[in-house]
Structure 1
């Protein structure tokens, strides 16, 4: 029965990741032992991630230049990732993650010139480590972790003006926009194991950086093209998280986690340790 439940949860994770789909650091909470390997699947929905105002630089085909201040949010962006973790010693684990960033919206924030674009699917990877600070006999413990996550050349398509509802294509523009994204996280988790349950809370620092470039070419040659270039970072860098590990037995574990402030996200994952 436990094994059937575990495989059912795997199916749920894969469905969530593919349907709604930055893996969140802190998941799962507890470390594995020296020499053990843990493999897992996680689906994360980033409901909202806000970026600080940035300068969007424009270069026109006639040789002129200008710029303007903009803000941006990523909304409903999803990730599904496979994770492999190795226990170097009981107190230190290292991990690597591979997967797909899929779905999501780029939301511009500029009065009179606000656009919404679709984020295309892209390969994403991450590496990191966790360390156990201490664990008491009553199951209470504390851990620290760090992670570097990245994807490159992710496309933004199907731009739509938020004021008029018109698409870039309807206005005569062919668009070609991509951006690179990287993220560094560091967290401290406090957990308490009570039987099969390990609830935990954490806090830390998260820095995300975006480099954006693109070109819009008008279908009317008289209008030429406009090149774009900008970079920005996340608006809030403090991260708070709350989560729960559930030991299903037979070496299976399921995890549910919420992340707040730096981004609003929910993660569901399942893993197998051997």
Structure 2
């Protein structure tokens, strides 16, 4: 049974179609060789800022233009199931899958900023984490890397930040979606103190968002009957700093809480069981 689960995870890992923003459990917590860990994990991304980008517009009359925009995600919530396999004593392969929901996308431009709702969407990720060393006193170093992805996530209920009027109020019918992928690599130092393992981490995060949309006008056709949009952007800050705590609750149950900063401002909490 364990070999079958490991094979399924390996197939997903090699398929190259994955994505999420945190490894299964903490980046320093490992399950033993041949063991499997399952758990639940919840994340709240308060803010995630992106670099300015060029938004391309194409109008129904054939006209085109490009303008510089800024982008920001707020209040995105992830609810995930986690699965971890101990490939060896110091190396784990992990996968997560679940739902991302509740976020806002803010499109920044002088005198023309808009906010839309990020709809719920399936998300999953895979990666590896391992222990580099651990001294007898409990001080250690670990590395983790993972790839996160979701596709075709709808953005709806657009509202002007300046006027408060919705796209629907202005006669627009909107159809927008985005694809998102992210790569993380984190080195974490930890210190085991009986049932508690506090840790700090430093690493690199790169994410890429592809956005496209079609706004169709039903009343005011001064802009034509429709406008299509296309753009892509990356995260503004590639540095990731994290601080967290693992707690052994007994009977192979662990809990984890973590804060992530710079690349995004995120709080993560989870619980897992290994067998």
TM-score (norm 1): 0.91
Contact 1:23/1:42, CA 8 A, preserved across alignment: no
Q: Look up the match of 1:19.
A: none
- How big is the shift at 1:101? 0.7
**Total equivalences in the alignment:** 253
- Three-state SS of the structure 1 residue aligned to 2:194 is coil
Distance 2:138 2:274 in 1: 20
Runs of 4 or more consecutive aligned structure 1 residues displaced over 4 Å after TM superposition: none
Distance 2:31 2:137 in 1: 18
Distance 1:31 1:44 in 2: 20
CA RMSD for the aligned pairs?
A: 1.0
- How big is the shift at 1:220? 2.7
Q: Look up the match of 2:237.
A: 236
Distance 1:119 1:202 in 2: 29
Distance 2:23 2:150 in 1: 16
Contact 1:26/1:145, CA 8 A, preserved across alignment: no
Q: Look up the match of 2:67.
A: 68
User: Is 1:227 matched with 2:228?
Assistant: yes
Q: Which deviations, in whole Å up to 9, do the C-alpha atoms of 1:127-172 show, x marking residues without a partner?
A: 0001110011111111001000000000000000000000000000
TM-score (norm 2): 0.90
Please give the residue correspondences for 1:1-274 in structure 2 after superposition, counting only pairs within 5 Å: 22-25=20-23, 27-28=25-26, 29-220=28-219, 222=221, 223-274=224-275
- Three-state SS of the structure 2 residue aligned to 1:138 is coil
Distance 2:215 2:29 in 1: 48
- How big is the shift at 1:221? 7.6
- Three-state SS of the structure 2 residue aligned to 1:31 is coil
